[in-house]
Amino acid sequence: MDVNERIMENLKAFGLDTDIKPVTMKHLAKVDEVLASIVQTQTDAIQEIRNNKISINRVAKESGIARQTFYNNPIITAYIEAYIAANASASPYETIETLRKEIRRKDEQIAGLVQRDATVSKCKAENLELTDEITSLRETIKSQEELIRQLRGNSSVVKCMRS
């Protein structure tokens, strides 16, 4: 895709007028080139931050000290971990990773709450059905009891007639 096509697609995507004069298109081409360069610089900087993450393995490798030495000496390990914690706030990548973890945790929490709400709704519906069924069964019991009373009353009349 050439620059002009990309600019036209971006104009449409951004909801801007696509009826552009040739001079404006030349300016937009220069602007697009600068913007693409800035975005690439930002992408490279983020990648550089990711690649320069502090870890015990990296410190061991770059210091020339065996990794096992770090793990066998709790003071060295604690020093590196404290250093990492103290400097984590300086790294936007660490901040982004922390926020992503928090978002994932919140998403899981939301999914759990949605599931809980669905279960509660289902239980409420079942409760309502059971309440209706109980009411119906109570009415059936009452009518059956009434029928039993009537039959008992009729059977004593029948017994009297036989005697």
Name the residue range of residue 117's domain. 93-163
Same domain, 101 and 154: yes
Q: Are 8 and 18 spatial neighbours (Cβ–Cβ below 8 Å)?
A: yes
Q: Does 2 lie in the same domain as 68?
A: no
pTM of the model: 0.45
Q: Residue 21, by phi and psi: left (phi above 0), alpha (psi -120 to 50) or beta?
A: beta
Per-residue pLDDT of 3-26, as tens digits, reads: 899 999 999 999 999 898 999 999
Instruction: Say if residue 60 is in the same domain as residue 80.
Output: yes
Q: Are residues 81 and 113 in the same domain?
A: no
Structural domain total, the chain: 3
Regarding whether 63 and 123 lie in a shared domain, the answer is: no
Same domain, 99 and 160: yes
- How far is 44 from 80, CA to CA, in rounded Å? 26
**CA distances (Å), 99 to each of 47, 105, 162, in order?**
18, 10, 92
Per-residue confidence at 145, pLDDT binned at 50, 70, 90?
A: very high
Q: For the chain, give the longest Cα–Cα distance.
A: 122
The alpha carbon of residue 44 and the mean position of all alpha carbons in its chain are separated, in whole angstroms, by 28
Residue pair 54/83 in contact (Cβ under 8 Å)? The answer is: yes
Are 33 and 11 found together in one domain? yes
Look at residue 160 in the predicted model and tell me its pLDDT.
Answer: 58
The string of pLDDT tens digits covering residues 39-59 is 999 999 888 877 888 888 889
Choose the final residue of a domain: 90, 117, 137.
Answer: 90
Query: Is 85 in the same domain as 120?
Result: no
**Tally of helices (H runs) and strands (E runs) in the chain:** 6, 0
Query: Do 15 and 2 share a domain, yes or no?
Result: yes
- How confident is the prediction for the chain on average, in pLDDT? 89
Residue 116 and residue 60 share a domain: no
Give per-residue pLDDT as tens, 80-109. 889 888 877 666 777 788 899 999 999 999
Do both 107 and 47 map to the same domain?
no
